[in-house]
Every structure is written in structure tokens, then in C-alpha cells.
Amino acid sequence: MIYRRLFKRRGDGDPSPVGAAVAGGRDPALSRAFRRAQRDGLALAVWARVAVMAAVCLWLSLQFWRMEVLWTVGLCIVFAASGLLQWRLVFRHPERRWVLFAFAVVDVLIVTAATVVPNPLLETAPPWPLMLKLGSFVFFFLLVAITGLLTSPALTLWTGAWVALVWLAATEWIATTEGAFRLRDLENRPTFNSPEAYEIYTDLFFVDVVQSRQSAVAILIFAGIVAAIVARARGLVEREARAASQRTMLARYFSPNVVDEIARSGGTMSQARALDAAVLFVDVRGFTTIADRQSPEETIALLRDLHKLIADAVFAEQGTLDKFMGDGAMALFGAPKPASDDARSALRAARRLLAAVTDWNTARSEDGREPIGIGIGIHYGPIVTGNAGADRRLDFTAIGTTVNLADRLERLTRKIDTDLVVSEATCERIRETGGTAEIAELETLAPHAVKGLTQPVPIRILPRP
């Protein structure tokens, strides 16, 4: 799987959000879904069985009503009752998978009785060997095919094996009935395609063991084919469901087009990779004070609203949401997929977020709630991406001086009293990629000292209205 290569599991596993989404193994939710599908398939098969048996009974009663028909009607009722009983047991006790296998044997025995046992209500019952020649074996193929609705390859193979076993056993037993004979019972065996052979093969009491064995082999092959089809269908469904789940999880961190690129490229994200990207930090001003004046429920609701605004702005510009950090967040533009306009995308995302927060504050003011102020810092430069953390807690992230500087610029918004601080390196990259107009309204300030760096950093800010 592509996603399994993207996020390689290590040690005992990776329980991080992304790692959990892409880890291999059987998904319990998917297993439960297959069990539900199996019950739905059983219900479909059972009620179809009941409907068909009811139609057969009605047709026989109206068209051929005689006392002898009671035998066929009785078998139909028993076959329908078998289906209803197993459906009831499986519905009440879904964990008892053996019920399906046990009733598969019961169904095979019922169909065998309907196929090879002469109607005892007939005045002149046909000889037992004749029952093997009436072509009723085709009903076993239908029985095996129906098990495919239960999405269980093992059950299909089990049913086919029992059909072959019971049919061969019935053939051998019928060969011992009065008047029956097999080819090997003859002292003088006729040559193939001779008049004598034709006479033997058309004899009502002749039991063709070879033909029965061929039928048994055919049903085994058919059961194997149906089981393979079911197994392949399950595999495809599992892979598609897992891929959809993984894409959904990845979409929490990456914009949809980046997710598509990850799926197509098959690249690895667990390995460290150096690249140039824009890093954006955003944080709420005075969040502790705001939280102290609110209930826990109101604080969580505020964070959810804010996180949604951040995610929408980042994803709208094809950015990667690296992480939420309480009342703030870190986003990347150019990781894992670099582009020439990553710096411009970061600036557009910042402006989009500021506009969204302005609208949000208008709605909050109308509801009597205090407005929220945010600060954003952006820097463009080299970063290193990869999975960081312990074996049992890995996260895709970025590290490096560029990340640290973007964080410092966001903190600088409080000191300068502005909403957005952009490094001159970011503006230079925007200018190189044709975005001169996008930075025209940014105000250039004198280089500011930043903690951790020896040289002051040239910056620009977005003046407030």
C-alpha cells in the first residue's frame, strides 16, 4: 500500500494520528463491517430462499396438486425453515460463526435428499439409480453460489466440500441398493462406444460412479472459483476502505491536492528530507485571560471555531497543517510537496485567516462576546521534514532555523502591536516569483533582534486599518 510506505511503522507501532491511519493490519471497524455485510447477505439469501420455496409450493399446489406433491412441498418447507432458523441464530448470536458452517451441512443434506431420494408417496417409485441421472445436481451449484452472498470464502469452500463428500457417499450407497450395479460389478466389461456399453449406460439401474466423481470435482472447482471471487472482492473492499480511511486522516493535515500527490507519488515521508518552504505560526493574544473568564465548554468551543478558521485558510492555499498547539498552530507551505509560489501561498493564507477572524469577531460582537486577536509570523527558508518523536508517538513535522524564526516572528507581533510579521526573506521570495503586488502594502521596519539569532532580522508588517 502507498500509505504504508509513506509512514513506516517502527517498534511496537505508531499510535500517532497519521501513523494510526496508515498502519497495516486488520481494522476492527472493517471487520465489524464485514460481519454486518455477512448478516445482510444471509438475510438476503434466506428471504430469497423463503420467497422461492413459497412460490414453488404455490405453483405445485395449483398446477399439479396430488397427494404425491406433499413430499416436494415438505422438502421446500424444511429448506425454508432451515434458512429462517440459521438467520435467527446468527442475528441473535453474531459471534457464533460456526452456526453458518453447521447449517451449510444441513442445507447440503436437505438438497441431497430432494435430489437422490425417490418420492415415497408415489405408487410406483422410480429406482434409486435413476435419481442420479435426472440432472438435479445443478441445484448444488446454486447452493454453493448462494454462499457467496455471505462474503466468506471459507464457508463457500466448506459447502462445496460437503456437497462433493455427500454426493459421492450417496452414489456409493445407491450402488448397494437392490438391482443397482456399477461398471466394475460386471464380469465382462464392454468396450467404450460399443452397443453393449450404450445398453449398460442407459439401464435404469446402472450407477455411473465415474460421472458422480466428475460432478464432485466440478463442484469443488466451482466452489474454489466462487471463494476466490469472494476473497478478491473482500480484498478490494478492504484496500479501498483502508485507503479511504487513510486519505481522510491525511486530509486532516494536508490539503486535498497534496493528499492526491502523496497517493500518486508513493514517496516516503518517514525519511528526513531537506527542502525550502514557508513556515507560518499563528497564536491568540491574551488567550489565558480569555479562558479564565469563560467556562471550559466555552473555551473548547472557541478553540474549535478558531482551529476551523486556521485549517480552512491553510488548506485553501494548499498548505500543510503541521500541528495545533493549544490556541495556536503551525503550518507549512512547500512540504511535503514544494512549489515555486509557496511563500505567496503562505502570505495569502495569512490574509485569508485575518479576514476570517475579522468576520468571526463581528459575529462574536453581535452575540455580546469579546473579539479575538491573533498574531501571525511567516518566514521562508530551508527546513528538514520527517517523522519526529518516540517509536510509540511519531508525528510528521518540520525542524530548523526557519521554523524557529517563524515562531519568533509570531511572538514579535505582540511587541510591535501588529497582526502579521513577515520576514524580508519571505518577501524576497515572493518578489522572485512574481508577487510584487502582494507585498506592496506591507510596511518595512528596521531589523529587529530575535532571540536565538545574533543578527537582527529584516521584517515587514501588515499595517492595521
Q: CB-based contacts of 236: which residues, under 8 Å, 6+ apart?
A: none
Query: Is the confidence at residue 28, as pLDDT, over 70?
Result: no
Give me the mean pLDDT over the 87-100 stretch. Answer: 79
Look at residue 207 in the predicted model and tell me its pLDDT: 83
pLDDT recorded at residue 24: 39
pLDDT for residue 133:
81
Mean pLDDT, rounded, for 245-269 = 62
> What are the tens digits of pLDDT across the range 370-384?
889 999 999 999 999
pLDDT at 22 over 50: no
pLDDT in tens, 230-256: 889 888 877 777 777 767 766 666 666
pLDDT at 1 over 50: no
pLDDT at 20 over 70: no
Checking if the pLDDT of 19 tops 60, the result is no
pLDDT digits (tens, 9 = 90+) for 394-431: 567 788 999 999 999 999 999 888 999 999 999 999 99
pLDDT band at 355 (very low <50, low <70, confident <90, very high): very high
Rounded mean pLDDT, 125-152: 83
Given this model, what pLDDT does residue 159 score? Answer: 93
Range from 33-47, 205-219, 370-384 that averages highest in pLDDT? 370-384
Least confident residue range of 158-172, 230-244, 329-343? 230-244
* pLDDT of 11 over the 50 cut: no
The per-residue pLDDT for 249 is: 67
